[in-house]
Amino acid sequence: MIVIIDYGVGNLTSIQNMFRKAGVAAMISSNKTDIENASKILLPGMGAFDNCMQKLNESGLRNTIEQKVFSDKIPVLGICVGLQMFMENSEEGNLEGLGWIKGSTIRFKPGLMHVTHKIPNMGWLEIDSKKQSPLLTDLENARFYFAHSYHVKTANAEDELASAYYGYDFTVGIERDNIIGVQFHPEKSHRFGMQLLKNFSENY
């Protein structure tokens, strides 16, 4: 069973509904036993980085989640700030990230943009894959919905799964072993998001 982690943040019902549309069973839970029994987990995130990290740290679920990710090696998918939390830190806040992926979350840099783009980035962007991945099966020329002012920057290029262009190229997906994350919102991305969640369910 896929468990969508409920630590008080994120569009949990929207994510569950998109899984359902894809024909995939997923439960929303803050129960340690449910997480311990999960075959895959999804870490949502929305809003400010520090708020998400604080809520996760206070939830009492972090040790259980990290046991599943690092000892049991089950697949984990982070969405939006859920991805950003995988990093070591964020320019948005002062709290440490989970540190599962080497790198940082940084604010969009207007000075680096070839043309002026509004921040936050809100809208649809096409993504470019950087390596082959089961997550991106049947997603050639896919477009996804974004709503963010910050994006991740990995220390190791091999961790980058996909990029998009918004004034400059930036990382929109990472994958290292069983740790996977996307900056965009699959639950708001119609058929492309449905396919991505189906791929996460079936291909790992």
Contacts of 87 (CB under 8 A, 6+ apart): 97, 98, 99, 100, 101, 102, 103, 104, 105, 152, 154
149: which 2 tokens? 């002012």
Helix, strand, coil share (%) of the chain residues, nearest 5: 30, 30, 40
Of 97, 72, 79, nearest in space to 4 by CA:
79
Which entry of 52, 80, 148, 160 is annotated as an active-site residue? 80
pLDDT band at residue 116 using 50, 70 and 90 as cut-offs: confident
Q: How many CB atoms lie within 10 A of CB 50?
A: 13
Distance from CA of residue 37 to its chain's centroid? 21
pLDDT band at residue 11 using 50, 70 and 90 as cut-offs: confident
Q: What is the CATH number of domain 2-202?
A: 3.40.50.880
Structure confidence at residue 141 (pLDDT): 92
185 given a catalytic annotation: yes
Q: In the predicted model, what is the mean pLDDT of the chain?
A: 96
Which entry of 92, 160, 175, 187 is annotated as an active-site residue? 187
What angle separates helix 12-21 from helix 190-202, to the nearest 10 degrees?
80
pLDDT digits (tens, 9 = 90+) for 59-112: 999 999 999 999 999 999 999 999 999 999 999 999 999 999 999 999 999 888
126: which 2 tokens? 């096409």
pTM above 0.75, yes or no: yes
Under 8 Å between Cβ of 162 and 130: yes
Q: Which helix (H) or strand (E) element contains residue 144?
A: strand 143-148
Q: How many CB atoms lie within 10 A of CB 99?
A: 12
Three-state secondary structure string covering 101-126: CCEEEEECCHHHCCCCCCCCEEEEEE
110: which 2 tokens? 């207007």
Structure confidence at residue 117 (pLDDT): 87
Structure confidence at residue 114 (pLDDT): 77
Structure confidence at residue 115 (pLDDT): 75
Q: Domain locations in the chain?
A: 2-202
* pLDDT surpasses 80 at 19: yes
* pLDDT surpasses 90 at 113: no
Distance from CA of residue 76 to its chain's centroid? 9
The stretch 18-33 carries a mean pLDDT of 97
